[in-house]
Amino acid sequence: MQTKIWLSSPHMGGAEEQFVAEAFATNWIAPLGPNVNGFEQDLSTFLGGHSHVAALSSGTAAIHLGLILLGVGAGDEVICQSFTFSATANPIVYQGATPIFVDSEPDTWNMSPVLLEEAIKDRLRKGKKPKAIIPVHLYGMPAKMNEILEVANRYNIPVLEDAAEALGSSIDGRMCGTMGQISALSFNGNKIITTSGGGALVSADATIAQKARFLATQARDEAPHYQHSHIGYNYRMSNLCAGVGRGQMQVLNNRIATRRAIFGRYAGLLSGRPGISICHEPEGYFSNRWLTTLLVNPAEAGVTREDLRLALEKENIESRPLWKPMHLQPVFEQYPYYGEGVSDKLFENGLCLPSGSNLSEDELQRVFVVIERVLGGA
């Protein structure tokens, strides 16, 4: 059996171990320390210098604290992109609030601004104003944020931006992770950079980032003893993990360039093949191309997404269907949904391909051979 080719595996840059060794040498083995501060600074600089960053234990924790800081509580409604990973929606339920799912549009595969407005109008008609809106930039492709923010501002509803997959992506030079009142990043093992596990809450408002750090460290009031006037969480990032993050920040731009180059190689291979399509960047959009994805139209391609996935699996190559929308998930199917079947189709026909920045040329060729065999000559 040939070695396994992964969808997206950790790719160290080299300096990570030095930062971690420094943490050992100085005994900063704790969820605070110089690496945590340094990583937050690095991220803020990368995002353009106007963001305040709180490094946390996960992207999920960032979304959870984001909802808390936007005042989301029991009985509230939160509008959420249906086509996403469950980690976007779970924290809504942690808060005892109700997720209201909205379908995608076909250009970026992310939240439809038109359906978003329909959902808001209908929720208002039913007597409740949504407390927040969570759009997601899936696979690195920015959502239609100008349009989404225009709707959100018109109804005066804050946006919590799930940028977990989109560090380095932008629209007209505006970085993903700086577009919501609050934004969430993830550094899980399969993301474009990793801290093994980790995340960050980002805001242009220094007070919000400060409050996130406060809540993430058990909400201790100023006092010599342990004094609490708020419910706290243990969500801060470890100084060891942050050391990995600082090393990863040194190679982030390089990782983005490599992922985009891999996308380019797939795009070249797939172009002109009937029934096969990929997600293009709208004018002004820049995707970090975290994962390369394709859609198979079985009627035109003569094969299905599953034919391709199973053929890859046989050669020990990991690929994966696109996210199964939340409105189709057993745990979420009882919640309201506004859609017209776009994300259902994406799930049915879409596949994520191996896209890691550490893929070798030989590995890429192994993937190409299978794709060409299944899809036939161009």
Measured CA to CA, the distance from residue 295 to residue 335 in angstroms comes to 28
Q: 135-154: which residues touch ligand PLP (CB under 6 A)?
A: 136
Instruction: Work out how close the CB of 151 gets to ligand PLP at its nearest, in angstroms, rounded to a whole number.
Output: 21
Site for ligand PLP in 192-231 (CB under 6 A): 199
Of 112 and 188, CB closest to ligand PLP: 188
Q: Which position among 165, 318, 344, 363 is part of the footprint of ligand PLP (CB under 6 A)? A: 165
Residues from 50 through 69 that contact ligand PLP (CB under 6 A) = 58-60
Non-local CB neighbours of 201 within 8 Å, separated by 6+ positions: 53, 54, 56, 62, 65, 66, 182, 183, 184, 208, 209, 212
Output the CA–CA distances (angstroms, integers) from residue 47 to 99, 246, 332, 337, 345, in the order listed.
29, 15, 33, 33, 34
Residue 38 lies near ligand PLP (rule: CB under 6 A): no
- In angstroms, what is the minimal distance from the CB of 82 to ligand PLP? 12
Least separation in angstroms between CB 60 and ligand PLP: 3
- If one asks whether residue 159 binds ligand PLP (CB under 6 A), the answer comes out as no
Kind and range of the H or E element at 119? helix 113-125
Shortest distance, CB of residue 87 to ligand PLP, whole angstroms? 4
Site for ligand PLP in 309-338 (CB under 6 A): none
CB of 189 to ligand PLP, least distance (A): 9
Contact status: 35 vs ligand PLP (CB under 6 A) = no
Binding of residue 164 to ligand PLP (CB under 6 A): yes
Under a CB-based contact definition with an 8 Å cutoff, are residues 242 and 35 in contact? yes
Smaller CB distance to ligand PLP: residue 190 or 217? 190
Choose the binding region for ligand PLP from 115-123, 146-154, 162-170, 231-239 (rule: CB under 6 A): 162-170
Q: Shortest CA distance to 356 belongs to which of 244, 194, 184?
A: 194
> How many Cβ atoms from other residues are within 10 Å of residue 85's Cβ?
18
What are 315's two structure tokens? Answer: 């050669």
Please give the size of the binding site for ligand PLP, defined by CB under 6 A: 14
Q: Which of 69, 70, 41 is nearest to 54 (CA)?
A: 41
Q: Which of 183, 188, 248, 357 binds ligand PLP (CB under 6 A)?
A: 188
Interface residue with ligand PLP among 162, 318, 344, 363 (CB under 6 A) is 162
Please classify residue 182 by burial: count the beta carbons closer than 10 Å to its beta carbon, then call 0-12 exposed, 13-18 middle and 19+ buried.
buried
By CB neighbour count within 10 A (0-12 exposed, 13-18 middle, 19+ buried), where does 200 fall? buried
Q: Could you tell me if 260 and 289 are in contact, meaning their C-beta atoms sit under 8 angstroms apart? A: yes
Between 186 and 277, name the residue whose CB sits nearer to ligand PLP: 186
- Closest contact distance (angstroms) between CB of 225 and ligand PLP is 33
Q: Which CB sits closer to ligand PLP, 100 or 192?
A: 192
What are all long-range contacts of 360-368, with beta carbons under 8 Å and residues at least 24 apart? Answer: 363/5, 364/262, 364/265, 366/2, 366/5, 366/315, 366/317, 367/5, 367/312, 367/317, 368/265, 368/269
CB closer to ligand PLP out of 170 and 186: 186
Q: How far is the CB of 119 from ligand PLP (least distance, A)?
A: 19
> Of residues 78-107, which lie at the interface with ligand PLP (CB under 6 A)?
84-85, 87-88
Contact status, residue 286 vs residue 170, Cβ threshold 8 Å: yes
Using CB under 6 A, which of the segments 12-20, 157-165, 211-219, 354-362 binds ligand PLP?
A: 157-165
184 beta partners: 162, 201
User: Which residue lies nearest ligand PLP, judged by its C-beta?
Assistant: 59
Q: How far is the CB of 268 from ligand PLP (least distance, A)?
A: 27
Is 186 one of the binding residues for ligand PLP (CB under 6 A)? Answer: yes
Q: Tell me whether residue 238 is exposed, middle or buried, using C-beta atoms within 10 angstroms of its C-beta: 0 to 12, 13 to 18, 19 or more.
A: buried
| HEC readout, 266-304 | HHHHHCCCCCEECCCCCCCEECCCCCEEEEECHHHHCCC
Between 261 and 290, how does the x/- string for binding to ligand PLP read (CB under 6 A)? ------------------------------
Binding interface with ligand PLP (CB under 6 A): 58-60, 84-85, 87-88, 136, 162, 164-165, 186, 188, 199
